[in-house]
Amino acid sequence: MKVLVMPAWMKPYMAKLRRDYPQHRFVEVGSAEVAKEAVDAEVVFGYLSSGQFKTARSLKWIQTAGAGVEGLLGRVPEIAESGVIVTNARGAGAPIIGEHAVAMMLALARQFLRFEQDRRDRRWDQDGALEVVEYLGGKTAGIIGFGKSGRETGWRCKALGMSVIALDRHPVDGDPVVDQVWTDDRLADLLGESDYVVVTVPLTPESRNLIGANELAMMKRTARLIVTSRGGIVDQVALGTALRDGTIAGAALDTVAEEPMPADDPLWEAPNLIITPHIAGNAEPELLDRRTFAIFEENLRRYVKGLPLMNVVNKRLGY
């Protein structure tokens, strides 16, 4: 069996793969060599282009290096119609995403944006600060999408003394993290009850613009919105309007519809908004690399033994 390994960061792990599976060929490739080497590859770890996929006539399994597959399936729609199994690295960055989401919540609750501006203005305003800082304990976190990232966010919120409710398209057991897990037809209920709404769903045709002007109007005026999964799920024009009008109290985005976000995007100037550059799932590179490799390694073990793989993507649903 030939396994094509595309991520450059995999180099330190190649010796282990070759030692553990001496009967199989592991080929490291740069982008210029992929089309040639993919011809007789049975397994690919990485992301193929449409042209490369067409050359891969022996391909049976693709393991991606990230959780989102909308880019791969959008670029290579033929994969969805093929018999090739696609698995992703869902869960590798989940604890890091959970930590990032809670950090955003704390930054908004403790008014770090305001204090950073005070620092720039060299202003010490303790009296004004006492009127605006908040405590997360006792607040309600509503998590839209209770997968691995949602669960990692949820238990951290619970540890801070928050009530946690969640929404998921599929039946999910939330105990002991979540007080209630609702089906997606109760989005309005979750928006209305939550002090912090955390979006962790993948981007699919069904989730695009899931949160628009109507949904933002359902939230409490004191509520904040946190997005850690994908841009495009929240209508950014509507969000900017909601922040300027005070429809909601604040927001924090790690992902936006167009990345990098254009310098002239009005959202840069929206009040009470934190933006981070799509790094919620990242930490020290070796940490994320190690966790991602562990998923591939376990799936490879299962594949060789003919066992069911982890993180199999439903190509019709897109996640």
Residue 253, C-beta contacts closer than 8 angstroms, at least 6 positions apart = 227, 231, 234, 273, 274, 275, 276
The rounded distance, in Å, linking the Cα atoms of 223 and 39 is: 53
Strands 61-63 and 163-168: unpaired
For residue 278, indicate whether it is catalytic.
yes
d(CA 133, CA 112): 9
Catalytic residue among 25, 278, 290, 302: 278
Is residue 156 among the annotated active site residues? no
Catalytic residue among 151, 169, 224, 230: 230
Distance between first and last Cα of the chain: 27
Cα torsion through 65, 70, 75, 76, rounded to 10: 80
Q: Regarding beta strands 43-45 and 163-168, do their DSSP bridges make them parallel or antiparallel, or are they unpaired? A: unpaired
Q: Which of 33, 206, 258, 259 is catalytic?
A: 259
Asked about 24 being catalytic, the answer comes back as no
Q: Who contacts 132 (Cβ-Cβ below 8 Å, separation ≥6)?
A: 111, 114
Please name the residues in contact with 318: beta carbons below 8 A apart, sequence gap of 6 or more: 69, 70, 73, 202, 203, 204, 205
Helix (H, G, I), strand (E, B) or coil at 64: coil
Strand partners, 31: none
Q: Catalytic amino acids? A: 230, 259, 278
